[in-house]
Amino acid sequence: MTISGKHLAILAGIYAILAPIPLWLGEYFIHVLNISFYYVVMAASWNLIAGYTGQFSLAHHAFAAMGGYTSALLVIHFNIPILLGIPLGGLLAGAVGFFLGTLCLKMRALYLGLATWAFAESFRITLSMGYKLTRGDLGLSTPTLLDTGQAFHYYYVFLLLAIISLYIMYRIICSRIGYYMRSIRDDEEAALSMGVNTVKWKRFVFVISSFFAGIAGAFYGHYIGLLSPVSVDFNEMAILIIMVITGGLRTFAGPIIGAVFIELLSEVLREYGEIRMVLFALMVIILMRVNRDGIVGLGRNVLPKIKTALMRNGVGPR
Amino acid sequence: MADSGIKLLETENLTKRFGGLTAIDDLSLSIQEGEIRGIIGPNGSGKTTLMNLISGLYKATSGAIYLDGNRIDQLKPNVRTSKGIIRTFQIPKVFRDMTVLENMLVPALSDSQGDRYKQRVEIVDQAQELLQFVQLSHMENRSAKTLSGGQNQLLQIARGFMIKPLRIYLMDEPFAGVNPQIKSVIMESIKEMNREKGITFIVVSHEMPSIRRLCDTVTVIHEGRCIAEGTLEKVAHVPAVIDAYIGG
């Protein structure tokens, strides 16, 4: 994959716009943004498999934890550099994604969801029980990526992680692989009959989305400094689904908008505790009923109407 | 284009069983290159199962399928597509959330095509030309889910023509549930592609007038077996065919 000068300029422009933001924010809000960027990568990579390919995997959060634990354990026990541990965490998550994808090749809809959920639960229980290695529910202290604990410095790490990951995903979606993914989602039998190697590309999407989840999870672990089986709780997966559906499943911008929106809203509603999940669930139900394309779809529907109304009232370009 | 006398596709003692049900029973067929072969038979006679076996969606219980004398029944559907076998479905299977033009691009961009198309622009030109051919060019940027049933049928037929090389086109009930105008477009597409590009067609249909206009030879299948073969006029007088259709 080559990067054209134009793309490089756009990416640099995005970075330049987002880079000064922490200068105006306090440490706590910068931390919230860092977590938002983590969720942007998680939501966008889940959208690759669920939104673009129609494979409703419920194990994405487990792959993030797998990447985090792999990197942390390698760094702790083998003393390898963190910057080597992170890609290794991603690779292991990708490899396991390959096997899970192969096992689930013929499963669809509910069955795929159940199988992947069962895998995630098994992994969570294994983490809890493997006390000697993972320290179980007490959590594993992980070395941090930077010497400083300041969220300000990590902001640039997570910003770069999000920009690079999203760019790669964007290129995949726009390439011929994107066509394969969408054709598999819309009708797998027809895609096969049109010459698409559906087995190969379903595996590929499982691998690539798990890889991104693993990488994001590894960065997260080396930022927070603690990993625990709680990160494989189904609530984590539910949050990812809520983010993608709120932003717009099957759209590129949807998971980005949804992840930032839900993470910020989650912080605003923090004082209400678990009731947040009820509110989010209600929001998803309403969105599914009113506007299945989420915020992006809402924008697509509403913006032209606003534009038309403005033009009718003599405002805006004629 | 009249058939060339060269055997393009053969099935040899082909059998497909689903548990205790034998859908295709020891069926041997021979299709000549350049032919438009009609496959007819009462409901449940095994016509669609035969399409699924040739296209690779089903694996045969026993028997063999040959293309150009080479056995293909062990190949996956997408590999068969790369060898020039394409199909349509009785209920049109289009990629609903993709635009009409994007639907056309999928086969050309697929693994089966390798580098047969040199550039993306060549693919788009070819797709637009074919959409014009089936009178769908005005809808190329619309989502496929907004198309009518007949337009979906046209789209899935046109989409198949994107495959290079296209040797055999399997059409499963292409005239079912479409209006006369669309039926006529489909008929013309088949005739022209057969005449101009030498594509061989196997058309499964209940529409006898269309089969009569298109096919020189028809094969009648009943209970998975071939019970007659020849011109439609000839097979219409075969007692086994009369029995199969009106019960005997």
Supply A29's token pair: 């809000």
Q: For the residues B77-92, what does the mean pLDDT come to?
A: 93
Give the one of B95, B102, B112 whose C-beta lies nearest to A190's C-beta: B95
CA–CA separation, B215 and B40 (whole Å): 11
Check B106 against A191: CB less than 8 A apart. Answer: yes
Number of domains making up chain B: 1
The rounded percent of chain B whose pLDDT value lies above 70 is 96
B178 or B9: whose pLDDT is higher? B9
Q: Is A202 on the interface with B (CB under 8 A)?
A: no
pLDDT, residue A318, reads 47
CA–CA separation, A44 and A35 (whole Å): 14
In a domain, B242, yes or no: yes
In a domain, B190, yes or no: yes
* Residue B171: φ, ψ to 5°: -120, 120
ipTM over 0.95: no
Domain extent at residue B229: 7-96+166-246
Q: Is A305 on the interface with B (CB under 8 A)?
A: no
Give the one of B78, B102, B107 whose C-beta lies nearest to A197's C-beta: B78
Query: Which residue type, as a one-letter code, is found at position B85?
Result: I
**What is the β-pairing status of strands B168-172 and B200-204?**
parallel
Check B97 against A183: CB less than 8 A apart. Answer: no
- pTM for the predicted model, two decimal places: 0.89
The answer to whether A215 and A166 have CB atoms below 8 angstroms apart is: no
In a domain, B82, yes or no: yes
Supply A245's token pair: 């559906």
In a domain, B108, yes or no: no
**Closest CA relative to residue A298, chosen from A239, A240, A258, A241:** A258
Cβ partners under 8 Å of residue B245, min gap 6: B42
Identify the residue whose tokens are 């995997």: A57
Where would I find the H helices in A194-274?
198-224, 234-247, 253-268
Supply A46's token pair: 């889940």
* pLDDT (tens digit per residue) in B20-77: 899 999 999 999 999 999 999 998 899 999 999 999 999 999 999 999 999 999 999 9
Identify the residue whose tokens are 């056309």: B104
Supply B195's token pair: 């005449």
CA–CA separation, A60 and A117 (whole Å): 9
pLDDT, residue A184, reads 95
* pLDDT (tens digit per residue) in B219-235: 999 999 999 899 888 98
pLDDT, residue A303, reads 82
* pLDDT averages per 10-residue partition of chain A, 318 residues: 84 91 91 96 96 93 97 95 96 96 84 93 94 90 90 94 96 94 94 93 96 97 94 92 92 94 90 85 86 85 82 64
In a domain, B103, yes or no: no
**Closest CA relative to residue A38, chosen from A266, A229, A206, A205:** A266
Q: For the residues B80-89, what does the mean pLDDT come to?
A: 93
Helix (H) or strand (E) holding B226: strand B225-230
* pLDDT (tens digit per residue) in B120-152: 788 899 999 999 988 899 999 999 999 998 899
Cβ partners under 8 Å of residue A277, min gap 6: A235, A238
Shortest distance, CA B123 to any CA of chain A (angstroms): 12
CA–CA separation, A317 and A171 (whole Å): 34
Query: Which residue type, as a one-letter code, is found at position A290?
Result: V
Query: Which residue type, as a one-letter code, is found at position A238?
Result: A
Residues of A in contact with B89 (CB under 8 A): 189-190, 193
* A-proximal residues of B, 134-193, CB under 8 Å: 156, 159-160, 163
Report the CATH number at residue B194.
3.40.50.300
In a domain, B70, yes or no: yes
pLDDT, residue A310, reads 81
CA–CA separation, B33 and B30 (whole Å): 10
**What is the β-pairing status of strands A226-227 and A140-141?**
antiparallel
A308 CB neighbour count, 10 Å cutoff: 11
Give the one of A189, A196, A197 whose C-beta lies nearest to B106's C-beta: A196
Helix (H) or strand (E) holding A310: helix A294-312
Where would I find the H helices in B39-179?
47-55, 77-82, 100-109, 120-133, 149-160
In a domain, B125, yes or no: no
Check B77 against A193: CB less than 8 A apart. Answer: yes
CA–CA separation, B81 and B111 (whole Å): 10
Q: How many helices (H) and strands (E) does chain B have?
A: 9, 10
